[in-house]
Amino acid sequence: MGLVKGVALSTRRQRQQPLGLALCCLSILQLLLSSVSGIGVNWGTQTTHPLPPSTVVTMLRDNGFQKVKLFDADSATLNAFANSGIQIMVGIPNDMLYTLANSEQAAVNWVAKNVSSHISSGGVDISYMWTLSCTGGLFASNFELFIRYVAVGNEPFLSAYNGSFLGTTLPALQNIHSALKKAGLDTRVKVTVPLNADVYESPTNLPSDGNFRSDIQDLMLSIVKFLSDNGAPFTVNIYPFISLYTNPNFPLGFAFFNNSSSSSLTDGGKTYDNVFDANHDTLVWALQKNGYGNLSIVIGEIGWPTDGDMNANLNYAQQFNQGFMNNVIAGKGTPMRPAPVDAYLFSLLDEDAKSIQPGNFERHWGLFYIDGQPKYALSLGTLNSNGLVPARGVAYLSQRWCIMSPSASLDDPQVASSVSYACARADCTSLGYGTSCGDLNAQGNISYAFNSYYQQNNQLESACLFPNNLSAVTSNDPSTGTCKFRIMIQSQTVTSGVEGGRWFSISSFVTFVVVFLSAFL
């Protein structure tokens, strides 16, 4: 497995330290085996102030993440993974599917630029190469970039896309695979399509009645056959939080793994005490019924947001993610597939520029805030048993905040329009019922909006000059309780990022702000 080169040692030294050499080789073997297992995490980059890729890669390694799922193939990001030993699923955004589906050459060019240029063509059977030397039980290592999967599109069959990608997803998948084959990489780098769990359904909610959605069943079977024929996994994103968000009658306890409620589901002698297992096994039944019961499954996204909704909070997120990780650490699968799941947590960092079309919670899925600080204690079962490790060397702006001026009046006619302006261009998703800042009064809400705009604009003096002297800069932290008025990190190269091909709706957020403020004014 891989390429291991020993360094020539003197006969005398070899005789003196056979145990050291044996332990060294055992350590190497353990590293090689562990490098394709363990928990993964999604890293989206839709943020106004991204951390440098090198900082994020260090943070991934510090926390023991062995796999990462990306939503594009940004060269600076990929280059930062060199020598990291982290397995990569590199993404192709939905807006590229049409071109890749209709041009084999475009697929060849994409693979050459984003895959072949980063990994060796030396003929090893895995996507990285080790060059190791053992001396007295110590070793040095040299890694290549470890690209394991290419994710072609992201949830392309969501109803929100109105069928836009139904005709291009499979051809793009086929063309990327053909391009990998031409490059001699198809046995090392597999193609897959991260799909939302809505591509399958059960009319009775029992997993055993599961099958692919009737309107896309033929297409799904073609995709499944292609994945099976080429040794690639079925990648699915499962979100118990969304079940709770979209259905007010959904039993809360059933969303979590340590379900202490009476909610459970019995299906043919198998008992389900949480919705993830039931959802996952609905897919297993859909595959099994159509002759693909042995197809491997990767959980592309699973997680819980921490803000932006009454059920999105730190306590629930910690409970859900730790419950899931406890199962992963224990090697526990689902009733239909008891083996450990292969999964990527969603997500690594908050993204303050993501679309809020699905809900205000969309910007708060991170295990870490956008500055790389952990949100809560979480054991990943890695060497770092003390919890999540923060990003190193993060630089912040000055300890200054923009607030509503103490001399300003709530009756000022410029208040509503100023808040709407600020929130449409910054992030006010922590405001609202049941959120971390839900207990603020009117002045607090206005101050939060002003400060968000001020920080996202790097504390420019002009960013705290709202009409009629409504705003003022202060050196006193206005944070209170669970509501944090954050200081922005120093700006790196600003990027729009790619995450799921979703869109940002300013009008919907302006409406939210105006309606929210009207309750106070």
Q: Which residues are catalytic?
A: 155, 301
Pairing mode of beta strands 200-201, 342-345? unpaired
Rounded CA separation 371/380 (Å): 20
3-state secondary structure 493-515: CCCCCCCCCCCCCHHHHHHHHHH
Rounded CA separation 125/185 (Å): 9
Cα angle 125, 127, 132; round to 5? 85
Written as one letter, the residue type at 444 is G
Rounded CA separation 190/59 (Å): 26
Cα angle 68, 70, 72; round to 5? 160
Kind plus residue range of the DSSP H or E element containing 234: strand 234-237
390-404 as b/e: b if 16+ CB within 10 A: ebeebeeeeebbbbb
3-state DSSP assignment of residue 343: strand
Both tokens assigned to 99: 């071109």
Rounded CA separation 90/92 (Å): 7
Q: Please say whether the beta carbons of 375 and 306 come within 8 A.
A: yes
Q: Please say whether the beta carbons of 124 and 3 come within 8 A.
A: yes
Peptide bond preceding 347 in cis form (omega within 30 of 0): yes
Rounded CA separation 46/50 (Å): 8
